[in-house]
Structure 1
Amino acid sequence: MSADQARLLLTDGVAGVPSETVEELGNVAGRWPVLLNLVNGTLRRRIERGQSAQEAAEQVMRTLLADGPGAFDPARPADRSRAVAATVEASLTLLPSADQSRCMDLAVFPEDVDIPQDVLRLLWPGVRVDVLCEELAGLGLVADYRLDVPGPRLVMHDVIRAYLRTRQGPDVRAEAHQRLTAASTALLAHHDGAPRPWWTMPADSNYLWRYLPYHLAAANQHEELATLVCDLRWVEAKTRRLGSVVGVVADLQLSDTPTARALQRALQYAAHLLGPIDPPEALGATLAAQLHDVPGLEVELHRYRQTLSRPRLEPTWPLPDQPDPTRPHPPGHKGAVTSCAFSPNGALLATTSNDHTARMWHIADGAELAVLIGHTDWVTGCSFSPDGALLATASQDQTARLWRVADGSQRAVLTGHTDAVTSCAFSPDGTLLATTADDRTARLWQVADRAERAERALLTGHSTWVENSAFSPYGTLLATTGRDQTIRLWHVATGRCYCAVRLASDLTGLCWHPVAGLLRATGGAGVYMLAYVP
């Protein structure tokens, strides 16, 4: 962030701080947007409580210098953690004790997920939640308090959420998860006895439909979690609600029971059949048919069939398209493999396929590490981030997705392209992702952290499909190739087309030499080697 941008953020709603003090405060904060926002919130609250602007600024400065790093470098994780800890603590002290505890509760929500106000009302009964949300946003303890569609919600910054988790021990977090799940039972049509009929939740309880199993697992309510995710009434209701069985498969991964594992395998095999259908009641019959004669699911299926409406069709023989249960299907893609990429340390291989999945493999023994489910069409490309923490995938479903390598979970869905996404590539510093697509564009996405994960630049100029992209070794230029037989160089900072050249064939492959400033492109006519002349 520039000095002028840092000054504007620090002084938003704050008057009377000498310009030299503002400049010094910005330098001490490393001009890091997250920290500057926290400092601004603390300044405004101290001034509201009667301190002069100068005194408030000096107090925050002393806090940063005493508890934070002496020379703050936002690129160093240790410095970030210490600076955030110092400034968050300064902001928390401006809240009443009860509200400090409620702020800590925000650590229980999943990463990269906005927190709806109606869910906070369940967690904080009897509290003016809208007022507290305004307070937290004003202090910079949350990234934003949004009031637009889909409704009032808090947006958490990853770094602040991580700090709050360090302040809350696992037992305290588990207790907060338990409070939320207990309060959520009030939404059910009837909630006495067991199992609780979570599938009767209101249709507009979007957050709970997606994340209730996550909270049950984190609350150590493992028995109720296993009962819920293996109840086919929940499977049907959530599949209908979300339009896909992918979320149900993710739920089942939270419960390590034989029934959950058997159901997960069966649903993954039948995923292409379980979605929107006309008439809607046919989803139940389809689900029951796909689970017919699946070993380990007999009790669950019998119980579920008693709840299905009539008339309906049921199989009387084993379905001929089902896998032989005595011969487990070996791991691997179920269709053509479209791309692959090694992790930076060479320990993993990522592959993509027209079976709508990406997969990660251990190089040492060839074992399948994770199956990444979420895309709804062919997955066309993949790329590891430079630090190996993320995998990006591109798909014909018009999205790119980010996945956490550590556990295979989905971190973000990048939407904006209007046709198939053909490739993806990280910048050398890992802060940007470039995507190309059949919509004749390339796009740059800010992917470094949650608050800034958004489209940064739209690159237009190709006259037909854009096939591939590659960042220059220092990340200042992006090269793209397309079916229009051109290579274009773009200035990353401005998104402007720097230069272009037309060759004799469609171009599909592209890479830079790591040092020499050479660019290699491949196409129907062969390999082209070009030198970049600044």
Structure 2
Amino acid sequence: MDWFRRGKRYERAQAAAAAARAAEWGGGPEGEALADLHIFRDEVLALTALPPDVEILLSDLAVGWEDVTPERPALTVLPMMESRGLVALPRGGDGLRRITFPGRLHALISSHRTPEEIRAGHRRVLARAVTLPPEGGHWWQLPVAETYLWHHLPWHIAAHDRAAAGRLVQNPRWLAAKVRVCGVAALRADLAMFDTPEIDAARRAVDRVAHRLERRACPDPVLRAGLLLDALAGEAVLRAGADHLRQELREEAPGRVATDLTSALVGVLPSPSYVKDVALAADGSWLVTASGHKASRIHDVADRSVRHVLGPTEGIHEVCAITPDGSRVITGDYDAARWWDAATGQHLRSVDGWTTQLALDPGGAWVATDTSPRPAVIDSTTYAIRRLGKKSDPRTSISAMACSPDGRTVAVSDLNGRIRLWDPVSGKLRAELPTSPGAVYRLAFAPDGSWLATATPDGVRILGLPGGRERLHIPGSHRFAVGDGGRWLAVPGDTVRIHRTDTGELLGEFTPDRRGRDHHVRTSPDGRYLATWHLGSASILVWDARRLVR
């Protein structure tokens, strides 16, 4: 019986301790749930650095709190808090989780920390943030992929130094950058935090043009900033700063990569963690991602939402494309090529067979794929399959495909470095170009058909057509995208370098996302818009190519 009595005493002691812990948190169901997390008390208390009553993507939060201790480990306690009914972590149509940290819970947790402890938490977030702008730079030069900081930096600064946060929020440079990156709602949230004559003036200016600053009303980030600066210049206390910034923007050097990347940013989209391919619509308003989650997604660039999820299917989606008229999306996986309605997300048709490469006829009549045993051309109306070459041709591992601007030639490369030009109608071989030094991983024709760009392990080459004579070689990457009507190539690596296609001259380089060491790039059909991302990235960045390279 002694062991039984000892067990009962232990249970009573545990219950008393739990009740005491719950009472410490104010009692009730909320207090009991927090008491149940007593071994994670430090992590729970670290959440006082989290903005309350604001929806935040967990992927954005994880980036903003990266390498911040103990705040970063605190994010691991959120699922435990969700299981106890303290917070909700709903998953949106994009498959990504969000949190809106309840203000009442935030106040309760904050009551258990001293003001200095709370400020220390914000300082740790800021300690990482100050390393992000260029050396000697300013907050409005934050990397555009730092979505969390772009939205919530003033909140953290205000907790540490409210006067400094007020000076930032009223600065025309911050205001112009913020409306480009985040939009007018986030701008208003900043201004609502303070009450000074300058910020009152900024609020009046924003209110006058707010309807014109919405992303849907004005998708061009530079025009949005221009509208805002015009409105700010109408307020006497802000006129000098707004006029000075407008003059600087007019004096950007032509023919080079923009120094202020926010001027070229169209949108920052949250994405699945493993993006295999991206296809941009011609007008840059939406895009498709093929991910390692056996599905593709149609994203709206303006409001960062997912319009439709295409799938799931049996295989991992390797490649995606948008038909020239924008009405359908094509995805490829190891099982089939699949057609989807772009407006509704409905599955329309599948053509069985390995599909990891797609090349679309600019006229929309057909799609070329690497479907085994030989590359095929699939009719866009009847879905009939026509093989390229002869039955006796040996099987090859196709590594890249591209269609010429006139739709009369399909370029097909393999892992042995061979590049062949085929007639998509007859299926006959037109020409074979000189063998490349290694596998060819990407192909693209010039908009006028005068050259073919190739990517191999030792760099990017531009081959003159029809003979395939090498015009120039750009070392350092086995990927590229053709931008702005064929005027330049975006060549990714640790950074994204921009090279002229006629001379190979480096026009500049930029770092879309500092966490990436292996960026990927895709452009819209005419090269007007550029998408950048890297494997494992939480964001896809969409750029206006003509703003990016002036």
Question: TM-score, structure 1 length as denominator?
Answer: 0.38
Which structure is higher in RCO with an 8 Å CA cutoff and minimum separation 6? Answer: 2
User: Relative to total residues, which structure has the larger helix share, 1 or 2?
Assistant: 1
